[in-house]
Amino acid sequence: MTSTTNSIHVLFRTLFLAALGATGHGVAVAQDAAEEVVPQPAWAQLSDGERRDVFAFAEDYKAFMSSAKTELSFVSEAVEIARDAGFRELRSASNLRPGARFYDINRDRTLSLIVVGSESFTDGFRVVGAHVDSPRIELKGRPLYEMEGFALFQTYRHGGIKNYQWVNLPLALVGHVDKKDGTRVAISVGLDPDDPVFVIPDLSPHVDQEFRERMNRDVIMGEELDPLVASIPDANNSISAAVLAYLDGEYDIEEEDLVSAELVLVPAMEPRDVGFDRSMMAIYGQDDKLSSYSALRAILEQGTPKQTAIAFLVDNEEVGNVNNTGAMSTYLVDLMSELVYRQRGDAYSDYDLRRALRNTKVVSSDVNPGIHPAYPGVWEVGNAPRLGFGVNLKLYGGGFNANSEYIAWNRAYLDDAGVAWQTATYKGRASGGTIGNSLSKDNMEVIDYGVPVLSIHSTYAISSKVDVHMLYRAMDAFYRYDD
């Protein structure tokens, strides 16, 4: 690059970032002696009291995430928090007065939290949507087998993972078994420090020569992700029989019961702070329990909003929003229809629901990859999100963006609330994401935003504490904004 071209580049970047600052962009900019303009982290905008709030919020988040490993445990943990905050189960006789607080559970795997507003439901809802499932390893319907002196479990994967990241780690087995008599047996092994864990062993470097030519994603094949379960045989020299005897004695379940089970393997590591300054967190499952927890905390703060506030925390995004607990099901629209019907009574018509949907504003929130310090080239850095710089508005391109007037509407409340924000566009391609597409199909106004995270879909993703708190503040401002 010539010096003239470089000067033009620097000037353009200076004017561009200055324009962002002039319009109230949440991320401040600074200019060094070499005239290179560098955005400032969100940390630089915080008062001492706000920094304390950020770190306190992070402690609550880590404590929650140590228990909420799956969508089932997320829902059960979130309901306990909501009940303590005055939310009650939505029932046919519930009084839908302004300020009333309800929760509704869809098949134990999706949760909606509702704060009734002062306006009619037909005037629309304010919805924050996020997903509560995360990439993981699941047990097959008939998982138990024996090989070379070990009992193992056959597995498959939920969502996209890099297989090699799941070997040589302590894994916990969590979930439940549903029996034919209608009883449910909860299972959690590996999360308590005194529990045993399960491990998928890798090949040692002494014997892996013939496997070294495998490509990145095939270093460990999907069918090789089978954890060690036991190695002591019973009196008949069968390790599998010994495992089944243990399951019968400990849980009163038989091998056939595993067909109607939802048992998953998740990392057994606790959330930990990262860095000397403790500014970051390493936690399994931040995609996308990070956004879901932020939405939970934001809706707890609402008194009596103008438009009824809903936190829609949904299952199965990692596998395409499928099934009756995913965002493509009719559950959310059915819930809105019920609310509108109960307010309108015999005067209810389908037009009332359609009007409510058309007037509904949605934030679809999900994390996305942040700039990696060792691999910055995978991003076009002028449109890339950085950890510690706040919420990122997702500008996908290719027809997937929110319309410009809705983006401007969201910018207004973010700036009014002092929320640091940035933008995110993937390099060289257009694509939509998360649950937003499913909700926009019902004619709701939808924008996607979240926060950047490193090592998404891994066993130990890294987020910035200030970003998580900014996302919570953004959602709170969305619910409150009076336009």
132 burial level (CB within 10 Å; 0-12, 13-18, 19+): buried
> Is residue 316 scored above 80 in pLDDT?
yes
User: How confident is the model at residue 171, as a pLDDT?
Assistant: 98
178 burial level (CB within 10 Å; 0-12, 13-18, 19+): middle
What CATH number is given to the structural domain containing 128? Answer: 3.40.630.10
Question: Could you tell me which residues are beta bridge partners of residue 174?
Answer: 188, 264
Residue 343, phi then psi, degrees to nearest 5: -85, -35
Q: Residue 215 — very low, low, confident or very high, per pLDDT cuts 50/70/90?
A: confident
C-alpha angle 307-309-313 in degrees, rounded to nearest 5: 150
Quick one: 253 and 126 in the same domain? Answer: no
pLDDT tens for 372-410 read 999 999 998 889 999 999 999 999 888 889 999 999 999
Is residue 20 a part of any domain in this protein? no
Following DSSP, what letter does each residue of 41-72 receive, concatenated?
PGGGG--HHHHHHHHHHHHHHHHHHTT--SHH
Quick one: 95 and 151 in the same domain? Answer: no
Is residue 24 a part of any domain in this protein? no
Quick one: 211 and 200 in the same domain? Answer: yes
Is residue 213 a part of any domain in this protein? yes
Quick one: 142 and 260 in the same domain? Answer: yes
User: How confident is the model at residue 210, as a pLDDT?
Assistant: 85
Quick one: 164 and 53 in the same domain? Answer: no
Average pLDDT, stretch 59-72?
97
Q: Looking at 209, 232, 267, which one is the last position of a domain? A: 267
Q: Which amino acid is at 158?
A: H
Alpha-carbon distance of 23 to 25, in angstroms, equals: 6
Quick one: 415 and 309 in the same domain? Answer: yes
Q: Mean pLDDT across the chain, nearest whole number? A: 91
Is residue 476 a part of any domain in this protein? yes
User: How confident is the model at residue 238, as a pLDDT?
Assistant: 97
Is residue 375 a part of any domain in this protein? yes
Query: Which range, of 59-73, 88-102, 174-188, 197-211, averages the lowest pLDDT?
Result: 197-211
Is residue 277 a part of any domain in this protein? no
| Strand 184-189 to 171-178 pairing | antiparallel
* 3-class secondary-structure state, position 452: strand
Quick one: 357 and 461 in the same domain? Answer: yes
Q: Residue 427 — very low, low, confident or very high, per pLDDT cuts 50/70/90?
A: confident
15 burial level (CB within 10 Å; 0-12, 13-18, 19+): exposed
Quick one: 106 and 180 in the same domain? Answer: no
- Domain tally for the chain? 2
Is residue 228 a part of any domain in this protein? yes
Quick one: 250 and 381 in the same domain? Answer: no
More confident residue, 82 or 22: 82
Q: Looking at 237, 267, 297, which one is the last position of a domain? A: 267
pLDDT tens for 266-284 read 999 999 999 999 999 999 9
Quick one: 126 and 197 in the same domain? Answer: no
Q: Looking at 215, 234, 267, which one is the last position of a domain? A: 267
Q: Residue 47 — very low, low, confident or very high, per pLDDT cuts 50/70/90?
A: very high
Q: Residue 13 — very low, low, confident or very high, per pLDDT cuts 50/70/90?
A: very low
> Is residue 5 scored above 50 in pLDDT?
no
Q: Which amino acid is at 424?
A: A
Pull the structure tokens for residue 259. Answer: 């067909």
Quick one: 363 and 412 in the same domain? Answer: yes
pLDDT tens for 21-41 read 433 455 444 444 344 455 789
- Which residue range(s) make up the domain with 435? 48-134+284-480
Question: How many CA atoms does the CB half-sphere of 66 hold within 13 Å?
Answer: 14
Is residue 325 a part of any domain in this protein? yes
> Is residue 230 scored above 90 in pLDDT?
yes
Quick one: 395 and 444 in the same domain? Answer: yes
Could you list the beta-strand ranges (E) of 275-378: 280-283, 308-314, 361-365, 368-369
* 3-class secondary-structure state, position 249: helix
pLDDT tens for 318-342 read 999 999 999 999 999 999 999 999 9
What CATH number is given to the structural domain containing 210? Answer: 2.30.250.10
